[in-house]
A and B are shown apart, each in its own frame.
Chain A
Amino acid sequence: MSRRVELTTSRRGVLGMALAGAAAAGLGTAPAQAALVRSSARIVIIGAGAAGTAFANRLVQRLDGAQITLVDARAEHLYQPGLSLVAAGLKPPGYVVSRTTDWLPRGVTLVAEQAAAIDPEAKTVTTSGGQRLEYDFLIVAPGLVLDHDAIEGFSLDLVGKDGLGALYAGPEYAARTWQAASQFTETGGVGIFSRPETEMKCAGAPLKHTFLIDDIASRNGAAGKYEAHYVCPQSVLFSVPIVSEKVRMLFGERGIATHYGHTLKGIEPGRKLARFETSAPGADGEAVKSTVEMPYDYLHVIPPQRAPQVIRESGLSWADKWTDQGWLQCDMQTLRHLRYPEIFALGDIAGIPKGKTAASVKWQVPVVEDHLVAAIQGREGTAIYGGYTSCPMITRVGRAMLVEFDYDNNLVPSFPGLIAPLEELWISWLMKEVALKATYNAMLRGKA
């Protein structure tokens, strides 16, 4: 089987669905399990989120004798794609939460502390508790941090009150976001849905929240008495042009107003005012900045997102790209650090043009695994990550669009000819509602 074909069929795995059963039946037998590779390498993984956990599980299935250490202080594992459902009242906060240790295989050591410093020259990681871990290979997978402080006047205590929502902040905040949003869907008024100017995880999530709250409002007390405004710093709704156009059309049909070139800078919660910095080309072509205030009854805040401090301080970030954000400098096809070949990025931390989704992690993990095992064996790896990114775009309760694309902004549908991309379908909703978490969990266990 050629690599291309392999990749096409495995996309089904990302969405893994009853329907795929028929397709899978044809694919039949499991591939022979690759033989265990003997190694005494010391492998340190920073972060036990989607990427770190999936990778650890894969490694124990591939390597025999390696010393694998995961570093992460967080006791709770969060299934973050579920936050969008919690913030629309469709799932309870507990839907998102499990224990980090539930997913870890035997044979890896968990150091329940944060990585506080990385020295890529000495090849050591120092933890918040002062432990010094030496490594032969380092997998950097600490996700990203939400910079709520960048929005003046905003604080997480305010979420759920006075019409403020912030679903990215975690399950409790997502539930409180629903408190504020559900009130809006009953009483109406002006709803403002924002997104940050930085790179962000799941760039579809701000759109999903807009669609969902608009849908629920249109069926509830607020029907006919509300306005929905989507406000973004960019000049498009989505980085992939064909997706952006589709969303533009849907927003048009649904009467959702769009404001481009607006960056949320601050709020006045007492007066329910949001302050945006706008940027529009002036007469001489130079961008002209100004400030506008918009009153709201419901405001959804997604803050700027950046690499964790420890990464930005370790000298591993890009020096000439995303300098305010600090993503890890790596090759976009192999995720290998450009200056330290024993270091790989996985997940949201990677400084690559696409890929900040859990679905991307599923595609990245086997690639890094291939290059790492090859390095242990003293050869070159061959697997390539093409930028696969996916985000089931919910357009209302009961319907979604499958949006899957790569570095080249090409659509790469998992079920070509069967499930149309960019079409609002019930089956795509089923995938997000029912199958996505199951597939995610299977990925964590290294099985998908």
Chain B
Amino acid sequence: MQDMTLGTLIAVFEEMFGRWLFWGLVAVALVVTAAYLYVLIRDRAMSMHKFLWAQIAMPFGAVAAVAFVLRITRSGLRDIGGPIDVITLLGVAAMGAVGIAVLVYTAQSLARPLVRRPKT
């Protein structure tokens, strides 16, 4: 198996986080995504109100993700050295933003299901 395959990549990630933590994180991500899809299908509509809160959470998610990654890698913004570093950091921020938005939206929807008011 000389090539870079999905299998190799999974093996590397398993070693990186530990098998249980890695698959645990994958499971959490899958559960949240499934819950998100569930509420979307259940409600058959996006609640703009909940979406607003989700959007407000996004910058916090972005900053938290960047801070987390810098912290666990003992580095700081001064270490950003080239375009690829900026791209990677933006990617981390984007994942944090989207992740928290989905989470916030889903949590609200599960806690307070969309109530369809009868049309008057």
Contact = CB atoms under 8 A, between A and B. Distances in A.
Contacts of B14: 438, 442
B49 interface: no
Interface string A137-165: 00000000000000000000000000000
Interface in B1-35: 1-9, 11-16
B78 A24 contact: no
A133 interface: no
B76 interface: yes
B120 interface: no
A420 interface: yes
Interface string A395-424: 011110000000000000000001110011
Contact of B84 (A7, A418, A437, A441): A418
A6 interface: yes
B73 A6 contact: no
Contacts of A24: 4-6, 8-9
Contact of A434 (B7, B16, B76, B78): B16
Contacts of A12: 4
A257 interface: no
Grouping DSSP codes into helix (H, G, I), strand (E, B) and loop, the B interface class, with mixed when no group exceeds half, is helix
B16 to A, nearest CB: 4
A398 B75 contact: yes
Interface string B43-79: 0000000000000000000000000000011111011
B84 A399 contact: no
A17 B72 CA distance: 16
A27 B74 contact: no
B interface, size bucket:
20 to 34
A283 interface: no
A430 B89 CA distance: 12
B16 A13 contact: no
Contact of A30 (B6, B76, B88, B89): B6
Given A439-B12, A445-B11, A425 B5 contact: no
B53 to A, nearest CB: 29
A442 B15 contact: yes
Contact of B75 (A21, A28, A429): A429
Given A10-B4, A438-B16, A16 B9 contact: yes
Most buried by B among A25, A433, A448: A448
14 contacts: A10-B2, A24-B5, A24-B9, A27-B3, A29-B5, A30-B5, A366-B2, A399-B79, A418-B84, A423-B81, A425-B82, A438-B14, A441-B15, A447-B1
Closest 7 CB pairs of A and B: A398-B79, A398-B75, A438-B15, A438-B16, A16-B12, A441-B15, A447-B11
Interface of B: 1-9, 11-16, 72-76, 78-82, 84-85, 88-89
Given A13-B2, A28-B5, A439-B12, 13 more contacts: A9-B3, A13-B4, A16-B4, A19-B88, A28-B6, A398-B78, A399-B81, A427-B84, A429-B75, A430-B73, A434-B16, A439-B15, A447-B8
